[in-house]
Homo-oligomer: A and B are copies of this chain.
Amino acid sequence: MPETASLQDLQQAIEQLTNRVDTIERNAGDNRLALGVMAGNLDTMIAAFVIALGATAYDIEVDMFFTFWAVAALRDPKKTAKKTFMEKMFGWMLPGSSMALPLSKMQMGGMGPKMIRGVMKQHGVKSLEQLMKEAGESGIRIHVCEMSMGAMGLKEEEMMDYPNLDYVGVGTFIQLLSEAKQSFFL
């Protein structure tokens, strides 16, 4: 700007600045957390839901993206689905529900998860199942990776009831990710 600017000069400068602020606001990302969940262990799942619920308590919206092994943690053991032989075989090997999730360490033939669940209960920490229920009530969205469903032979009919659950491609995750202020993978 010249040292003694005219009204027109200033008006022009303000308009340019407004355009730049428009762009910054558009790119800034919402106050939203995009949380990828892949490992599907009891410990990782507890961490994911504790963080997700913690974020909603701070008015941060949360989108969870479930992929690979984590998808099996969403199965409802009381539901069944029609499957091919290969899909059935996969289904048997995967955990039948959140109650059957292994630990990433100290699995000890199934003793580990039982011990952790016991000690957490003793310390007044909510169970994974309670955390998932609260997540649903808090408006936390779960997006399930369609490709993982297919690759592991899992069907929509056998998934648990959850208020905000949908089946999406990886593109949806990328979009959620690129528009979120924070993101990480567990």
Q: Which residues of A are at the interface with B, using a C-beta cutoff of 8 A?
A: 1, 4-7, 10-11, 13-15, 17-18, 20-21, 24-25, 27-29, 31, 33, 36, 38-40, 43-44, 47, 50-51, 54-55, 57-58, 60, 67-69, 86, 90, 93-94, 104-106, 115-116, 119-120, 123, 125, 147, 150-153, 170-171, 173-175, 177-178, 180-186
Contacts and interface: CB of A to CB of B under 8 A. Distances in A.
Total identical chains = 3
A51 B170 contact: yes
Contacts of A153: 119
Contact of A60 (B15, B33, B174): B174
* Residue of A27, A93, A178 with most chain B CB atoms under a 10 A cut-off: A178
A150 B174 contact: no
Ranked 5 nearest A-B pairs via Cβ: A123-B150, A54-B174, A54-B170, A184-B185, A184-B184
B24 A13 contact: no
A50 to B, nearest CB: 5
Contacts of A151: 116, 119-120, 123, 125
Given A51-B173, A60-B178, 8 more contacts: A13-B18, A14-B14, A14-B17, A38-B44, A38-B186, A50-B170, A123-B150, A183-B184
Contact of A147 (B36, B50, B86, B182): B50
A148 to B, nearest CB: 9
B10 A1 contact: no
Contact of A7 (B5, B18, B55, B173): B5
Contact of A69 (B14, B55, B105, B150): B105
Given A67-B47, A93-B106, A86 B119 contact: yes
